[in-house]
Structure 1
């Protein structure tokens, strides 16, 4: 099984999405900034992920992407196969003559290796990657807070801007209100 950069970036972006979605879609722009990946590249990947039924998209203000299923129900293999344009059932990396030649030269080594890699990737869920990232200290999106009044929030008075404290006018109209100073 061949895992390209495309597959690696997709797994990373899906992990980011899973870590940061909190009852609302996550925009690809924010994922792009956090991951340091091109926005147009992520758009291509998420289009394939949406067609595979792994993410759902929401248009408009506040739109973005959300997982189509719970994180523990999405296997890493599904993500990779979706962006590599392969199906799990259709995955046959080599033709029959190539398999026969490999078996003759190295026995079952490479055929078995590919099968085990795919099996392993099917056993790792997106939730497993989320837990691993959190254990390594990755900061997730904070839970949305309920709005509270300033009086009850414990927040003290807001400091006035420097310009207001120095009583320097910040507009042409405020300049007109200043007393005239005579110049001699």
Structure 2
């Protein structure tokens, strides 16, 4: 599946809020430190996430972002859509041999794949991510080694 950096980072950042927020706002600098996503990129993503109603911002000391809904009510496709991302496996879109009026031979197979991937992404929520044992193990490992996503020791 081809999902751009924008979609992946948005999912990672939203997961960070669920996993580390403990019902409190999470600052973008905290997400930056833990996940290695640049602050300016996070600002762009969170402007879109906020305008889509997935997060709310809290100003002042101790401020940051928190979810506007229960984690189990936000699926991965909600996040991808909020940051203007598309899942597109067609690879032929805009190619010389494939146009809207004259699709290539396998165009409809790729369209079906897009829909299956989108359907699957709608079944996974932020609550599901926070409940995963493998995710919990990653957090425990990072905390025990005092490392963040982009650091190695």
Q: TM (normalized to structure 1)?
A: 0.64
Name the CA distance, whole Å, in 2 between partners of 1:69 and 1:30.
Answer: 21
User: What SS does the aligned partner of 2:139 have?
Assistant: coil
Aligned-pair CA distance for 1:108: 3.0
The answer for the alignment partner of 1:179 in structure 2 is: none
Structure 2 residues not aligned, in runs of 5+: 141-153
Name the CA distance, whole Å, in 1 between partners of 2:114 and 2:138.
Answer: 32
The answer for the alignment partner of 1:6 in structure 2 is: 6
The answer for the alignment partner of 1:83 in structure 2 is: 83
The answer for the alignment partner of 2:44 in structure 1 is: 44
The answer for the alignment partner of 2:137 in structure 1 is: 136
Change (3 A) 1:111 1:85: closer
RCO higher in structure (CA 8 A, sep ≥6): 2
- Deviations 1:60-96, CA, capped at 9 Å, x for gaps: 111100000010000001101111267xxxx9x869x
Q: TM (normalized to structure 2)?
A: 0.76
Count of aligned pairs between the two proteins: 132
Change (3 A) 1:5 1:57: same
